[in-house]
Amino acid sequence: MPASDNLRKFLKETSYRLLREARGNLSKAKKRDRGRLFKSLDVKQARTGAKGYSFNIIGLAYGKQVDEGRPPTETFGSGGLKNILKGWVIRNRARLKGRKGEFATLKDYEVSGIAFLISQKIHKRGYVGINFLSDAIKTTEKHIEKKIDKSLTKDIDLIFRRNGFN
């Protein structure tokens, strides 16, 4: 097998390992999630030249905020967060209950009000990320270092044996 094929195979295996780690970390950290972010995570191969390869982890845009978190802000934003949260409130309507415990049917102004309150709290306090991707990268880096160290040791031993050093 040519060296470039070995490298491509190694990169592919490592990318899928990283994906498994990230999905595992996400599953452990998010107890009540519908799995949209989990399902969106995938590996795509991109050719970067005649003999170059890269593999990219892709997923929903909000995954970065889930991973890194968000610090409190001085200003309360331009309304972008509120608009994003409106969609979230609409998708999760069935989980919101009224005073008597029944599921509530929300009017548009109530949806906007809930989204506004949630966005204000996020702007004031921020939130801590769950580091599902950051931790996966650290774990995978350690794995790569061990693999490279093992391969270099084998190559050096082979060179010494070929040259008569035992």
Output the pLDDT for position 82.
87
- Work out the pLDDT band at 143, boundaries 50, 70, 90: confident
**Which residues does 47 contact at the CB level (< 8 Å), separation at least 6?**
53
Q: What is the pLDDT of residues 112-139, one digit of tens each?
A: 888 899 889 988 999 888 888 889 989 9
Residue (of 4, 6, 18) closest to 56 by Cα position: 18
**Which residues does 143 contact at the CB level (< 8 Å), separation at least 6?**
14, 17
Per the CB < 8 A criterion, the answer to whether 41 and 16 are in contact is no
The pTM of the full predicted model, rounded to 2 decimals, is 0.67
Q: Where are the beta strands (DSSP E) in the chain?
A: 42-47, 53-58, 69-70, 127-128
Percent of the chain clearing pLDDT 90 (strictly above): 4
pLDDT above 60 (res 54): yes
Written as six digits, the tokens of 104 are 């509530």
